[in-house]
Amino acid sequence: MHDAWWQRGAIYQIYPRSFMDAGGDGVGDLPGILARLEHLEALGVEAIWLSPFFRSPMADFGYDVADYCDVDPVFGTLADADRLIAACHERDIKVVVDWVPNHSSDRHPWFQESRAGRDSPRRDWYVWRDPAHGGGPPNNWRSSFDAVGPAWTFDEATGQYYLNSFTPQQPDLNWENPEVEAAMHDTLRFWLDRGVDGFRMDVIHKIAKDPQLRDNRDGERRRDEDWPTIHDRLRRIRAVLDEYEDRMMVGEVYLYDLERLLEYLNSGDQLHLAHNFAFLHLPWDAAAFRRGIEDFTALSSERAWPAWFLGNHDHQRLATRHGPAQARAGMLLVTTLRGTPFVYQGDELGLPDAVVPPERVVDVDGRDPERAPMPWEPGPGAGFTTGEPWLPLVADADRLCVAAQAADAGSMLALTCRLLALRREREVLRHGEQAMLHEVPAGVLAYVRELGGERVLVAINFTGAPAVVPLGGGAALVLSTDAARAPGEALDGALALGPHEGVVAELGRSGILRRP
């Protein structure tokens, strides 16, 4: 059966500042990533998604782009980007880059021109408005960052406010202006021409807002994002990607309403994939996850393909949020569900958040702890840098580092490698059907993947107490998050699960499990 590359294996998110520093300045860079490609090969990822490495004053660590078509010197050069893309392709690893279309940096020449005067030809490339009657911001929209407050910044020189959905250093581009749309399409072509395989699209639901900029009101549809114009805007972006072969767009669609989310996927001519934040924010509870998966499935058209993730550079890490054993179970979950798994760098090590003392805080929104550098080797700098890392390392880096875990068959790294290998080996895990099982003990999430008579059971115990899943017949253990359990173990009539244990088991062909 044919599957697209973006449906096949895991897409691994690299946060370049924190992956590997080849230059010794304490900040990760593109040559650093190049030097660590072996790790990605050993993991067996299908693709990498690189968080922004474009020219930026770093007010939001690269999500404030001053030149969409150049590499920031802290990360390297365009030639480094070309080398990295080529090296990944030689290893059959696709490359996805981050595209930040909702806002640029306030240092972008477009904004500099825009703010130069009310009659600047680029004035309308951003969202400018007069103060409200009686003064103050034009409407009640708020920045996504609590610390920022209102989404408007007053510009003394021209006497108007500009819209910033994030920091004041990230003015929102005006997507109502066709020139902006065309210019942003060209930034996609720039990277497509350089050979990138796809884009992760930053807060893509925000590029369509109520053109009348009316206030948000409780109980009504929000007017500062996900406006109905989004869908045609996405279709036009998709058309740009479709000028090239086999490219992919995954949206950061930060909407908790799955119906809304699926509108970005169901028609098949908008996004290929969308990050599902409702899933990320679920409590560690089997019933909640079952519902989350079933709701997504129920609302999906034939053309929508799921994507699953439990962490990124904006959220507390799973091992800290729920615990190390849960992190193992979570990895098993996202890699065995029908859909594309996304893995955030360091989650393959089960990294916790770092402790960041107040004097080392650099992020405006409290996200430093999950952005701590990757520990590669024991010792100072953890093999990440020969200098002073830009953020503190995680506690216990010597024990959690790649080198230590690579030497330990029971490690989280070994488990992740095994899970990704299993996905490659077993077609059933890639595009088998998926049926949720309901007659299992409370606290257990279980589903069967099935393809052409091959049936695989996945069962995860979300509780700290042992649980037993009754089986109507024989099965054999393929893999467990409990490294002490040997593959091949015969499961006769029952599958016993330890606390927070997840397993993959091969079911006999004789219809041994009650089907829902």
Nearer to ligand NOJ, 110 or 289 (CB): 110
Name the nearest CA neighbour of 40 among 4, 80, 81, 12.
Answer: 12
Nearer to ligand NOJ, 17 or 449 (CB): 17
Residue in the block written with tokens 């990360």: 75
Among 100, 253, 400, 458, binds ligand NOJ (CB under 6 A): 100
* 202 has catalytic annotation: yes
- CA dist 370 and 320 (Å) reads 9
Nearer to ligand NOJ, 25 or 365 (CB): 365
Name the nearest CA neighbour of 125 among 115, 114, 139, 136.
Answer: 114
- CA dist 473 and 367 (Å) reads 48
Residues 241-280 that bind ligand NOJ (CB under 6 A): 252
Minimum gap (Å) between residue 100 Cβ and ligand NOJ? 6
SS3 track for 77-100? CHHHHHHHHHHHHHCCCEEEEEEC
Q: DSSP code of 3?
A: -
Q: Is 314 in the site for ligand NOJ (CB under 6 A)?
A: yes
Nearer to ligand NOJ, 101 or 498 (CB): 101
Q: Is 166 in the site for ligand NOJ (CB under 6 A)?
A: yes
Query: Which residue is catalytic, options 176, 215, 243, 294?
Result: 243
Q: Is 225 in the site for ligand NOJ (CB under 6 A)?
A: no
Q: Is 63 in the site for ligand NOJ (CB under 6 A)?
A: yes
**Conformational region of residue 310, where left means phi above 0, alpha means psi within -120 to 50, and beta covers everything else:** alpha
- CA dist 304 and 259 (Å) reads 12
Residues with Cβ within 8 Å of 49's Cβ and at least 6 positions away in sequence, in order, are 11, 12, 13, 14, 96, 97, 98, 200, 250, 342
- CA dist 160 and 49 (Å) reads 38
Q: Is 374 in the site for ligand NOJ (CB under 6 A)?
A: no
Minimum gap (Å) between residue 328 Cβ and ligand NOJ? 25
- CA dist 354 and 32 (Å) reads 21
Residues 405-444: x where in contact with ligand NOJ by CB under 6 A, - otherwise, as a string = ----------------------------------------
Query: Which residue is catalytic, options 106, 197, 202, 506?
Result: 202
CA atoms within 13 A on the CB side of 410: 7
Query: Which residue has the CB atom at the shortest distance from ligand NOJ?
Result: 63
Among 21, 197, 202, 353, binds ligand NOJ (CB under 6 A): 202
Nearer to ligand NOJ, 343 or 495 (CB): 343
Nearer to ligand NOJ, 155 or 314 (CB): 314
Q: Is 450 in the site for ligand NOJ (CB under 6 A)?
A: no
Q: Is 71 in the site for ligand NOJ (CB under 6 A)?
A: no
Minimum gap (Å) between residue 306 Cβ and ligand NOJ? 20
Among 60, 80, 197, 347, binds ligand NOJ (CB under 6 A): 60
Residues 281-300 that bind ligand NOJ (CB under 6 A): none
Are 478 and 514 in contact by the 8 Å Cβ rule? The answer is no
| The residue type at 238 | R
Q: Is 368 in the site for ligand NOJ (CB under 6 A)?
A: no
Minimum gap (Å) between residue 165 Cβ and ligand NOJ? 8
Q: Tell me how many residues contact ligand NOJ (CB under 6 A).
A: 9
- CA dist 370 and 312 (Å) reads 8
Q: Is 203 in the site for ligand NOJ (CB under 6 A)?
A: yes
CA atoms within 13 A on the CB side of 455: 19
Q: Nearest 5°: CA angle at 463, between 462 and 467?
A: 95
Minimum gap (Å) between residue 15 Cβ and ligand NOJ? 9
Minimum gap (Å) between residue 42 Cβ and ligand NOJ? 27
Name the nearest CA neighbour of 468 among 477, 459, 476.
Answer: 459
Residues with Cβ within 8 Å of 203's Cβ and at least 6 positions away in sequence, in order, are 102, 144, 165, 225, 252, 254
Q: Is 207 in the site for ligand NOJ (CB under 6 A)?
A: no
* 243 has catalytic annotation: yes
Q: Is 199 in the site for ligand NOJ (CB under 6 A)?
A: no
**Which are the catalytic amino acids?**
202, 243
Give me the residues that bind ligand NOJ (CB under 6 A), please.
Answer: 60, 63, 100, 166, 202-203, 252, 313-314
